[in-house]
Structure 1
Amino acid sequence: MALPAKTAPHGSPTLQVSHTENYRELAGAERAAVLLLALGEEHGRKVWEQLDELEVRQVSLAMARLGPVSPEMLENLFVDFVTRLSSKGSLTGNHDSTERILSSFLPPERVSAIMEEIRGPAGRNMWEKLSNVQENVLANYLKNEYPQTVALVLSKIRPDHAGRVLAILPEEFALEVVNRMLRMEAVQKEILDKVEQTLRVEFMSNLSHTSRRDAHELMADIFNSFDRQTEARFITALEEENRESAEKIKSLMFTFEDLGKLDAGGIQTLLRNVEKDKLAIALKGATEALRDVFFQNMSSRASAMLKEDMEALGPVRLRDVDEAQGIMVNVTKDLAAKGEIMVSKSKGEDELVY
């Protein structure tokens, strides 16, 4: 499908789009998606019918992710239609508009399969998509499969992700999978295609239902973003309505006070990554016990200087303290995500890496 486009310096066709003086380049599938959105259901039907299934999937995925399409974009895409199209305003590509257009010419089951793939994990093929599925979800599915099948799947996804999945599988089963992977030879295309199809039908199609986050975990993340006063207000109100849910949310939240659970190495790593002025403000509003945790992990000279800085601050607004403490919590989560420190948000012995 040939679409009008500007030519980039390297010679390949690109389309520059202006959004309040911001520019981005669209790939071929995205240009096709803009054109088909503009043509609409009636005029675009004949174009859709000429595409093969792979092209339909590629254009559908691009259309679902397209977002707002400005009049400038339409003008660059097909100059001869710009007056009529720009007078109707801009277009928006999203999941609903994509599904509606596909439903106008494809059978319902095919539309469902395409939309399920679009809404599923990112990736150009099945193995890339599986590499973006949460390891606990994938492991929970694979533990019921034959070791040879699991070995094939893990050999096709990213090694780091395969390692995390193996670590979750039952030890004896995981060892059998490792042995199968070591003895694995070239796999026939027919077998590979059959495994892909099974994964698509039995696993990926149900993924949206199995990977939903627990509502309490989601609310704990939201509550973490509140300032102290807003958090206290919502927690108090929720305790009156549903004390059980309030307690569960509080147990899942990672707060500034939880920094006291870091080990000595974690505290020292955090200190190296937090600006000294933010540290002083944050500790200004901390409990005496939490201050001592930080002071004890600093040299005598450094702790003395920090105490002097805190005294020199004088009275500090609660809003500024909340902001500084929030920064320290976010830095802690970032460091934990990189594997540089371990954090625990439970009252027991279980440690969780964010």
Structure 2
Amino acid sequence: MADTSQTANLTGVQRAAIVLLSLGEQQAAEVLKHMGAKEVQKLGVAMTSVGGVSRDAVLSVFDDFVDVLEQPGGLGPGADEYVRAVLVQALGEDRASSLIDRILLGRNTSGLDTLKWMEPRAVADLVRNEHPQIIAIVLSHLDPDQAAETLKCLGERVRPDVLLRIATLDGIPPHALNELNDVMTRQFAGAQNIKSSTIGGVKVAANILNFMDGGQDEAILGDIHRLDETLSVQLRDLMFVFDNLAEIDDRAMQTVLRDVPTDRLAIALRGADGKVRDKITSNMSQRAAEMLLEDIEVRGPVRLAEVEAAQKEILTIVRRMAETGAIQLTAKAEAFV
């Protein structure tokens, strides 16, 4: 009978990590391909923290999945290289590189970095009673999509103030950032020393706005315009909007189109600038372009909110591809991402 003493307190993620570590690299990579980025990151951290698991413990975990474990073998320490190889095979070198750094260098994350693992609503609940300047620093430390989702969970009145403060952040003293990190660390019973103090700025604020839902970004920009007209212009200039798709090169557009559902594309192009429509159709086969244009023509009335939502979905795909290196943008288009 398998020994369960080592596995009694394992979480589900840790058990999944043991299973993946017991597979070959190619098989583990195939499993990870079907997961989202945050799931891959959580599993990656777990895979680096379950070293020294005995063969009996592995058998105990596998008893939950199969009746018989055909391939024995304990898991020794030093799984870093295995994790690195699996992630590269699953995601590609460019997409995996930043994720690997976050996993292998930040496995003991605490303080502000811990927030990156939390759901946006949970982050919002944690900071909603803080001063807007504190909220701005926290959101600046998150990835743009997570920061945008967190901002959506905050009150409408506080959003413009927070975004304005993010845009006007020009770094903060290391001791101040460490004090904030200490507060967050006590929340999660950990300890970490933050060295970097370069956060915030107009580009960070613009990237957060890029991930806001249609209408919310314009409402926030309108409020900021009334407070600081020059800043609102800077933010708008740095935002990557649907019309900016006309600026990306043909190779990048072809890569993007492979990931965009045709039905969402047809909705997004309703009322779009002619240059964007021409850029997209010129990078499709003649038959595909004809079918797309026909779909646009015969489709009934579509609500503006639905058009904006479809455009946001496509822009999210473009931004993620640019961030992971899947596509290279021209210098003009890159200024917006």
TM tier, shorter chain? Answer: 0.3 to 0.5
The structure with more radius of gyration: 1
- Whose strand proportion is higher, 1 or 2? 1
TM-score, reference length from structure 2: 0.46
Q: Which has the higher contact order (CA 8 A, sep 6+)?
A: 2
